Structure 1
Amino acid sequence: MKSFAFLFSLCLTMLVSPMIQASEYTVGDRLAPISLQDQHEATMVLDTSAKYLLFGRSMKGGEIIKTALEGRDNQALQQAGIFYLADISGMPSLIAKFVAIPQMRDLTFSIALDKEGEISKLLPAAKDAASLISLDKLTITKLQYFDDAEALKQALKEAGLQD
């Protein structure tokens, strides 16, 4: 009888667990503070001072963000309250280590890197797009997706990012 109860609970767990997996964040959800290293191995912290979370999950999304931020530096992003996070977990680790991250070091702004994908797995993203997540004390107030660098650049300008 004990083995039947064990087998029954195991089957039930296997059936129910995929249904209770968390879905991605949406407007009204509150993010926990995030701490990650950037491409220079310096610690970056997303906290209540951030007004915007700029997020890229795909290579295409990252390129859109990189183009939109061209000519900007860390000081400009900080003044506008913008925190840039990239999920690079889908990238082969050797490519990330020896090609991508060294290339990122040439950028004038820092990128918080989620190398495992665990911290950013619930952040909202659209396929081949950049996410601009508006925040109020880490509570999501607005979600926008950009598949065009010029449109993102304009949105960032409206958000207070200076040239």
Structure 2
Amino acid sequence: MGTAAWPVLADEARLGVGAALPPLSVNDQFDRPVSIDAGTRVLLFAADKAAGDIATEVLRPHPEVLAQQRLVYLADISGMPAVITRMFALPKMRELPFPVGLVRDAALTAALPRQAGALTWIALDQGTVRSVETLPDAAALRSRLGLPAN
């Protein structure tokens, strides 16, 4: 099998509509467990720093939307060197007024759909995926959250 087949296999392994969200166990920037349970309505996933920057820009002035919309935000930091995480990223994240579930092991979210530089919005109903959307910028996230445009 050639390497050209790998991206296809990876795409086929992505979580889709009707699938059950696999169990995810992560902690936030304060090392507190982040709960993704049957009541979670939205999983917002940032697979890279650019996507995380979009989420931070929109959520920082509106931290209440996480509870209002029963939204859990996860950021994949697995590719970040531990020393950078500890010395720079975590102190900065601790200034945020909302929890960020930190994915330190890429295997935990390998099945989550992703696009470079964009957020993934996964709508859930009792742990089952109802829809998956790619949000390429802050305007798209604001719109999806029902927030006013800046």
Q: TM-score, normalised by structure 1?
A: 0.79
Letter in 2 for 1:56: A
Give the 5 Å matches for 1:135-146: 135-146=124-135
CA contact (8 A) 2:60 2:98 kept: no
Equivalent of residue 61 in structure 2, options 65, 71, 76: 71
Deviation at 1:20, TM superposition (A): 8.0
Deviates more, 1:31-40 or 1:122-131: 31-40
1:86 aligns with 2:75: yes
1:43 aligns with 2:33: yes
1:61 aligns with 2:51: yes
SS at match of 2:74: strand
CA contact (8 A) 2:55 2:138 kept: yes
Aligned residues: 140
| Structure 1 equivalent of residue 3 of structure 2 | none
SS at match of 2:107: coil
Deviates more, 1:122-131 or 1:28-37: 28-37
Deviation at 1:41, TM superposition (A): 0.7
Structure 1 residue runs of 5 or longer lacking an equivalent are 1-17, 159-163
Off by >4 Å, runs of 4+ in structure 1? 18-22
| Structure 2 equivalent of residue 106 of structure 1 | 95
SS at match of 1:140: strand
The percent of aligned pairs where both chains have the same amino acid is: 32
RMSD, aligned α-carbons: 1.9
Inter-CA distance 20–132: structure 2 relative to 1 (3 Å threshold):
closer
Equivalent of residue 115 in structure 1, options 104, 121, 137: 104
Structure 2 residue runs of 5 or longer lacking an equivalent are 1-5
Q: TM-score, normalised by structure 2?
A: 0.86
Deviation at 1:118, TM superposition (A): 2.0
CA contact (8 A) 2:74 2:100 kept: yes
Q: Larger Cα Rg: Structure 1 or Structure 2?
A: 1
